[in-house]
């Protein structure tokens, strides 16, 4: 019986495969418990190949985290820079971040997990705070355009990322059958109207 011929990947394709496999394993099992041996076995390669591409688990993890953060920020740039009313900004940001979570659940889980001490970014909270700092750079433009006090921009950036991010984590991890837009509408309901003015059946008004 003829053996099944293995498809040989290019160096670029193999690198992408290793990043994808590692991202899923880091998301599901955590960084510390996942070994180079685990990643190599899951990817169907030898350990030396991972060291060749990334220098080890630390280098591979750094690539996974940096890519996840870049993708998240790219998802947020257009909603935060395309103008409109504060309500439109809030709704677009909520939908954009939930879209990222829905499309990239493994990447988002990696961002939320505590990073190892050798990575240098610290805890999951510090990683999300770093994302919020990038968001500040975009939000400040909206504040200037609307003649608002830019000193409080960090507060709003942290609130946006915190509220949407941790609600998004619950949405993914709980297996909720609520749609992305429904979750976004309820978050905007609280952020926009406050507890005293909540709508019973909120909807996205501007999208």
Cα–Cα distances in Å, from 79 out to 37, 91, 169, 207? 41, 9, 20, 11
For the ranges 45-49, 118-122, 139-143, 162-166, the lowest mean pLDDT is seen at 118-122
Q: Please state the domain extents for the chain.
A: 67-196
- In order of 33, 69, 103, 170, 188, the CA distances from 173 in angstroms are 20, 20, 14, 5, 21
Residues 6+ apart with CB under 8 A from 103: none
Cα–Cα distance between 21 and 167 in angstroms, integer? 26
**Could you report the per-residue pLDDT of 29-81, keeping only the tens digit for each?**
988 899 999 999 999 999 999 999 999 999 999 999 888 888 887 887 777 77
Answer whether CATH 1.10.357.10 is correct for domain 67-196. yes
């Amino acid at each position: 019986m003829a053996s099944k011929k293995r498809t040989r990947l290019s160096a670029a394709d193999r690198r992408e495969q290793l990043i994808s496999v590692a991202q899923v394993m880091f998301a599901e099992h955590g960084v510390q418990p996942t070994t180079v041996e685990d990643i190599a076995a899951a990817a169907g390669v030898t350990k030396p190949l991972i060291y060749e591409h990334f220098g080890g688990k630390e280098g591979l993890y750094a690539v996974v985290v940096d890519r996840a953060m870049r993708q998240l920020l790219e998802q947020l740039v257009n909603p935060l820079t395309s103008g409109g009313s504060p309500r439109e900004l809030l709704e677009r940001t909520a939908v954009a971040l939930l879209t990222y979570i829905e499309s990239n659940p493994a990447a988002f889980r990696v961002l939320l997990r505590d990073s190892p001490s050798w990575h240098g970014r610290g805890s999951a909270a510090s990683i999300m705070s770093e994302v919020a700092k990038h968001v500040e750079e975009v939000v400040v433009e909206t504040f200037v355009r609307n003649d608002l006090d830019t000193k409080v921009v960090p507060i709003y950036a942290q609130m946006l990322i915190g509220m949407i991010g941790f609600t998004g984590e619950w949405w993914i991890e709980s297996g909720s059958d609520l749609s992305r837009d429904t979750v976004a509408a309820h978050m905007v309901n609280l952020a926009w109207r406050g507890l005293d003015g909540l709508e019973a059946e909120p909807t996205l008004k501007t999208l």
